[in-house]
């Protein structure tokens, strides 16, 4: 049986570029569910590579991709990130964390009815970063290993997904290689605005709680007074009482999540206007803090804003703010310190970030680069890039070549000691 790596390659002039290949000819798409230890059902989208006549150095190598804060699978599919990896033959699995994308709250209720089981205890936006780290990521890793029958897999995370990867790699031996994209190790280290928000967070949260509490009290009082008045009127004028009868009490409002999905849709509308109105274009340039519009197709970023945003739990926001205020990355339920685990990372690792990214910069990724003991360690900014376009912009091919080189190195050196120096 001839292995993919042993295929006879096409003549050099006949090998198509990735732009010349039809995306749909590169894969077979399936989806499967993984269940977490605390009762969530998470969806994984798999892009299984199809054998091609050109060399595919990564053929069949499983790569698990995990999105960032308030995002979903479209982080990876809004541009040509997946296509470029499939061109090399990678077996791509995209995990969506609880409450995001296809791993929705609605799915939990559907599966609870189908399997006659309770919904997860934290179904009403009661999860935090610890939930992702302790339950979602292990379930996703175990699922990919089970489906591919591999003992170890490659992992790629964008932003928060990469931060989870740092922590996981420090205490587990499931990864054959780790790729982080726009993932800080010291969140807020080079971003004064984010630090200001984190330190003012408790006051903002208290203000929101007080405001919503007052609104809820006003509704309850209005409803009670309305019902009492309706009873009095009913005794005097029954027909008028029917017209004045108050409706049901409006649902209580609580600060349970950030409506990032709504914010992104509003940003998409602003961007649509920016294409034709100079004033809107100037506003977008000022607000486009995490994206460089010159390095990404506008139709791609508009599509991501429409489809790629999710509500994010208040507890996730609070935990991030606590990390920033204390300068730490800690799983509070177990006491595990991600940063202490950096020195335990010995697998090949690539730390990729944009040189214009205020979230993940040289300063905010330096500590993991210095602490990791990987023999193959790439630490590189991508020129002209900010945060969002790293997975969908014009420099995707360069980034995917970095990933291909790391995975190919790990594949070649599986059974012998690595010897390459660190890369920068």
45 Cβ contact partners less than 8 Å away, ≥ 6 residues apart: 29, 30, 31, 73, 93, 94, 96, 102
Positions in the chain short of pLDDT 50: 1-8, 207-218, 221-222, 287, 418-422
User: What is the per-residue pLDDT for 284?
Assistant: 54
CA 158 – CA 182 distance, rounded (Å): 6
User: What is the per-residue pLDDT for 299?
Assistant: 86
User: What is the per-residue pLDDT for 13?
Assistant: 58
Which CATH superfamily does the domain covering 4-187+329-412 fall into? Alpha/Beta hydrolase fold, catalytic domain (3.40.50.1820)
Give the residue from 12, 17, 3, 83 showing the smallest Cα distance to 51: 3
User: What is the per-residue pLDDT for 403?
Assistant: 98
User: What is the per-residue pLDDT for 421?
Assistant: 46
| Per-residue pLDDT tens digits for 359-409 | 999 999 999 999 999 999 999 999 999 999 999 999 999 999 999 999 999
User: What is the per-residue pLDDT for 351?
Assistant: 98
- Phi and psi angles of residue 316, each rounded to the nearest 5 degrees, phi first: -65, -45
Residue positions counted in the chain = 424
User: What is the per-residue pLDDT for 247?
Assistant: 57
Give the residue from 139, 136, 104, 110 showing the smallest Cα distance to 123: 104
This prediction has a pTM of 0.85
CA 355 – CA 363 distance, rounded (Å): 11
Question: What residue segments make up the domains of the chain, in order of their start?
Answer: 4-187+329-412, 193-244, 259-307
Token output for 364: 């905010």
| Per-residue pLDDT tens digits for 170-226 | 999 999 999 999 999 999 998 998 999 998 866 555 544 444 444 444 455 445 555
User: What is the per-residue pLDDT for 378?
Assistant: 98
CB 165 within 8 A of CB 344: no
């Amino acid at each position: 049986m001839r292995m993919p790596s042993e295929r006879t390659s096409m003549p050099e002039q006949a090998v198509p570029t990735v732009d010349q290949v039809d995306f749909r000819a590169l894969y077979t798409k399936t989806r499967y569910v993984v269940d977490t230890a605390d009762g969530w059902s998470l969806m994984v989208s798999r892009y299984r590579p199809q054998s091609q006549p050109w060399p595919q150095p990564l053929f069949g190598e499983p790569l698990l991709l995990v999105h960032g804060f308030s995002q979903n699978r479209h982080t990876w599919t809004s541009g040509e990130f997946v296509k470029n990896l499939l061109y090399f033959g990678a077996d791509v699995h995209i995990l969506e964390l609880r409450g995001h994308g296809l791993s929705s709250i609605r799915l939990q209720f559907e599966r609870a009815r189908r399997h006659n089981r309770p919904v997860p205890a934290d179904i009403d936006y009661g999860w935090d970063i610890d939930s992702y780290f302790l339950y979602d990521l292990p379930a996703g890793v175990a699922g990919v290993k089970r489906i591919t029958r591999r003992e170890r897999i490659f992992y790629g995370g964008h932003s928060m997904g990469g931060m989870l990867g740092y922590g996981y790699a420090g205490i587990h031996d499931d990864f054959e290689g780790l790729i982080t994209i726009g993932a800080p190790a010291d969140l807020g280290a080079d971003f004064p605005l984010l630090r200001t928000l984190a330190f003012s967070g408790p006051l903002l949260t208290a203000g929101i709680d007080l405001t919503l509490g007052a609104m809820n009290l006003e509704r309850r009082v209005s409803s009670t007074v309305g019902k009492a008045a309706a009873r009095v009127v009913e005794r005097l004028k029954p027909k008028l009482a029917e017209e004045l009868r108050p409706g049901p009490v409006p649902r209580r409002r609580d600060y349970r999540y950030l409506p990032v999905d709504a914010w992104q849709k509003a940003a998409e509308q602003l961007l649509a206007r920016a294409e034709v109105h100079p004033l809107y274009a100037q506003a977008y340039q000022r607000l486009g803090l995490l994206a460089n519009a010159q390095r990404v197709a506008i139709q791609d970023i508009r599509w991501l804003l429409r489809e790629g945003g999710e509500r994010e739990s208040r507890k996730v926001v609070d935990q991030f703010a606590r990390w920033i205020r204390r300068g730490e990355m800690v799983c509070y339920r177990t006491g595990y310190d991600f940063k202490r685990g950096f020195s335990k990372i010995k697998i090949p690792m690539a730390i990729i970030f944009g040189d214009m990214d205020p979230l993940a910069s040289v300063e905010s990724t330096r500590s993991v680069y210095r602490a990791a003991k990987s023999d193959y360690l790439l630490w590189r900014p991508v020129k002209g890039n900010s945060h969002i376009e790293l997975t969908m912009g014009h420099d995707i091919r360069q980034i995917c070549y970095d990933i291909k080189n790391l995975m190919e190195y790990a594949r070649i050196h599986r059974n012998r000691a690595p010897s390459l120096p660190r890369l920068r």
